[in-house]
Amino acid sequence: MQFKEIIGQERVKQQLVQTVKENRISHAQLFLSPAGSGAVPLAIAYAQYINCLNKGENDSCGECSSCRKYERLIHPDLHFSYPFFASASVKTAVDVLEEWRGMLMQDPYFDIDIWRSKLDAANKQANINIAECHDIIKKLSYKAFEAETKVLIMWLPEYLDKAGNALLKLIEEPPANTLFILIAQSQDQILTTILSRTQIVKIPKLSSEEVTGYLLKASGLSEHQAIDYSFLADGNLIEAKALAADTQSDSSGTFTAWLRMGFGNKVPDLIEFTDEAAKWGRENQKNFLKYGVNYLRECCLILSGAEELVKLPPLTFETAKKLSTHVLTLPMAEAIIGELEKAHYHIERNANPKILFLDVSLQLVKIIKFKTLPAGTQYIYN
């Protein structure tokens, strides 16, 4: 990965290159960035530039033995750590390294949901456990195999929890020529003991012009479409790619079908849906409910006359518009959001999914079909 391959972020690129030229590379750095801004490719390009055998003025050469190994993510002194789903066969991040490399090689712009889809997540929660922390300590205790600097890139240290305290001494006093790069999205969720030991590099979201330029070049959209999608994505390249793909997600189809069952009072279908949803596993159930909340919030924007602010792919937007025009009212949408948020809360606390989804399904019938709103959601309009 070279800096020239990364979309935008010219100021950050120049800043990183300058630290190498001036020999003031901080041994522990925290790349703080919103999703879809390119922090992961920036970290890899930075590490590649540091270890390049024939550095250019503003980028690595891309041709030396070190760069060629970095391009394939197989350099022996480049290590990765990231959230994963522990199981009997997966105890540390290295056990799913091939899946990680495959995803990075396919597209270095991704989020936790895309990563989750590459793994057998089932009903497990992602984290960076104590076994992974011990494995990091072990790997970095060895001498560098061939590069001048060993590099560990940790994606989403927010998933460390208290296990991260095992890394404190290593981060504060690492072996010689060792570089930690932590890539985070939420500073507040990182252990303060780790935060205090790192130098923060703030990476801004991409500008609308940068996202528009990428879409025009990569997706073959018209200029008008590219500008619209860029506005909706709000600097998130992952979101922009999803909009450009113009695909309706599985969650969207399943969720709108669930609402239609409620509107049609199709209790046998709702029971069948409940049986199916109960088999998804807790994390998938939580993601589905979270999607439903976000979807209905977009419907609320449509109902409020703010369609230009809706961030949905075109096909999904058309469905949401029909739903908002013919079925939902604002109080109904808000009442359903309340039910979904309560369900999400209870799923996190191991509620019985079959009972829970059946209860929410019956609440949908009450709200959508019979327009019976829970207390606190009635409105008096002028």
Task: Quick: pLDDT tens for 52-63.
Answer: 999 988 899 989
The pLDDT of residue 263 is above 90? yes
The pLDDT of residue 232 is above 60? yes
Q: What is the mean pLDDT of residues 23-52?
A: 92
The pLDDT of residue 346 is above 80? yes
Q: What is the mean pLDDT of residues 98-107?
A: 92
The pLDDT value recorded for residue 351 is 93
Helix, strand or coil for residue 199?
A: strand
The pLDDT value recorded for residue 249 is 53
Rounded (5°) CA angle 233-108-314 = 30
Q: What is the mean pLDDT of residues 243-265?
A: 81
The pLDDT of residue 381 is above 70? no
Long-range CB contact pairs, 345-352, < 8 A, 24+: 347/282, 347/285, 347/286, 347/289, 348/282, 348/286, 350/282
Give the pLDDT band of residue 46 (cuts 50, 70, 90): very high
User: In whole angstroms, what is the distance from residue 20 CA to residue 262 CA?
Assistant: 60
Domains in the chain, ordered, with CATH?
3-202 (3.40.50.300), 248-369 (1.20.272)
The pLDDT value recorded for residue 376 is 61
User: In whole angstroms, what is the distance from residue 44 CA to residue 78 CA?
Assistant: 9
Are 13 and 58 within 8 A, CB to CB? Answer: yes
Q: Is 314 exposed, middle or buried (0-12, 13-18, 19+ CB in 10 A)?
A: middle
Which of the pair, 381 or 223, is modelled with greater confidence? 223
Are 347 and 123 within 8 A, CB to CB? Answer: no
Q: What is the mean pLDDT of residues 337-355?
A: 93
User: In whole angstroms, what is the distance from residue 346 CA to residue 121 CA?
Assistant: 20
The pLDDT of residue 382 is above 50? no
The pLDDT of residue 228 is above 90? no
36 phi-psi bin (left φ>0, alpha ψ -120 to 50, beta other): left
Q: Which one-letter amino acid corresponds to residue 176?
A: A
Per cent of the chain over pLDDT 90 is 52
Q: Is 281 exposed, middle or buried (0-12, 13-18, 19+ CB in 10 A)?
A: middle
Q: What is the mean pLDDT of residues 362-368?
A: 94
Q: What is the mean pLDDT of residues 78-106?
A: 91
Average model confidence (pLDDT) across the chain? 88
Going by the DSSP 8-state scheme, the letter that residue 200 receives in this structure is E
The pLDDT value recorded for residue 114 is 87
Are 262 and 270 within 8 A, CB to CB? Answer: yes
pLDDT digits 0-9 by tens, 139-152: 998 888 888 899 99
User: In whole angstroms, what is the distance from residue 174 CA to residue 127 CA?
Assistant: 23
Are 201 and 174 within 8 A, CB to CB? Answer: no
User: In whole angstroms, what is the distance from residue 298 CA to residue 50 CA?
Assistant: 44
Tokens of 298: 């977009």
Q: What is the mean pLDDT of residues 249-256?
A: 78
The pLDDT of residue 246 is above 90? no
Helix, strand or coil for residue 78?
A: strand
The pLDDT of residue 135 is above 90? yes
73 phi-psi bin (left φ>0, alpha ψ -120 to 50, beta other): left
User: In whole angstroms, what is the distance from residue 322 CA to residue 24 CA?
Assistant: 57
The pLDDT value recorded for residue 144 is 87
Q: Which one-letter amino acid corresponds to residue 203?
A: I
Tokens of 241: 């790619």
Give the pLDDT band of residue 312 (cuts 50, 70, 90): confident
The pLDDT of residue 122 is above 70? no
Beta-carbon neighbour count of residue 360 at 10 Å? 22
Give the pLDDT band of residue 377 (cuts 50, 70, 90): low
Which positions ≥6 away from 218 have C-beta within 8 Å?
244
**Count of H-run helices and E-run strands, the chain:** 17, 5
